[in-house]
Amino acid sequence: MMNLLHEMSVAYGYKLATELKAKAQEREQAEVEPEKSETAPQPVEKKSELEGTHKLSEEEKEKLSGREAKEKNEDKYGDLPAHIRRMLERLEEMKEELDVLRQEVAQLNAKIDHNNETEKALFDQKNQYFIQLQNQYFDMIKNVKEAMKEAGVTDMSVLLKAIA
């Protein structure tokens, strides 16, 4: 029985992770698509008097592509070593996942009939997963802090930005 619950918990965690990734991709596409629609010529029946009078410079194309914003986002960790950057990025991902999971647990708790064993088991499972993820999150914070000390990084504000 415990093994089954564990397997269900792992499967549910994988499902949550894939759903979060899918939502993130949808958000990225939603951010990119409006930019594309702004630069794409719109089919017009009549020719506009301004049509074809302005060509986008390479700098404007670069700005509209969003590449500059992505580079700034990637550079927010400054000159930290790559392994610390990955750890900080994972911390941010875990924080987002914890926020979503916290809301789900709260909603489940509000709706649950504590006399219904199935609903109670689902709530307990999701709550247990939340607690485990939270413990991993705090362990990751300790690991990042230790890795930063070992790398000689004294400015811990980067860590604070990642967890804030």
Of 24-28, 104-108, 124-128, the poorest mean pLDDT is in 24-28
Q: Mean pLDDT of all residues in the chain? A: 77
- What is the distance, to the nearest Å, from the Cα of residue 31 to the centroid of all Cα atoms in its chain? 14
DSSP 120-156: HHHHHHHHHHHHHHHHHHHHHHHHHHHHHHHTT---T
Q: How does pLDDT run across 144-161, given as a tens digit for each residue?
A: 999 999 988 888 888 888
More confident residue, 65 or 8: 65
Q: What is the pLDDT of residue 45?
A: 54
More confident residue, 39 or 95: 95
User: What is the pTM assigned to this prediction?
Assistant: 0.52
Amino acid (one-letter) located at 144: V
Taking the C-alpha atoms of residue 65 and residue 36, their distance in angstroms, rounded to an integer, is 8
- DSSP H or E stretch at residue 7: helix 2-39
- DSSP H or E stretch at residue 43: none
Q: What is the pLDDT of residue 80?
A: 85
User: In the 8-state DSSP scheme, what is residue 29?
Assistant: H
- DSSP H or E stretch at residue 113: none
3 state DSSP class of 41: coil
Percent of the chain's residues with pLDDT above 90: 29
The answer, yes or no, to whether residue 138 has pLDDT greater than 90, is yes
CB 134 within 8 A of CB 99: no
The answer, yes or no, to whether residue 72 has pLDDT greater than 60, is no
More confident residue, 105 or 33: 105
The answer, yes or no, to whether residue 123 has pLDDT greater than 80, is yes
Going by pLDDT thresholds of 50, 70 and 90, the confidence category of residue 135 is very high
Average pLDDT over residues 16-34: 73
Q: What is the pLDDT of residue 19?
A: 78
The answer, yes or no, to whether residue 15 has pLDDT greater than 60, is yes
Amino acid (one-letter) located at 145: K
Taking the C-alpha atoms of residue 34 and residue 19, their distance in angstroms, rounded to an integer, is 23
Taking the C-alpha atoms of residue 107 and residue 91, their distance in angstroms, rounded to an integer, is 24
The answer, yes or no, to whether residue 111 has pLDDT greater than 70, is yes
SS3 assignment for 45-99: CCCCCCCCCCCCCHHHHHHHHCHHHHHHHHHHHCCCCHHHHHHHHHHHHHHHHHH
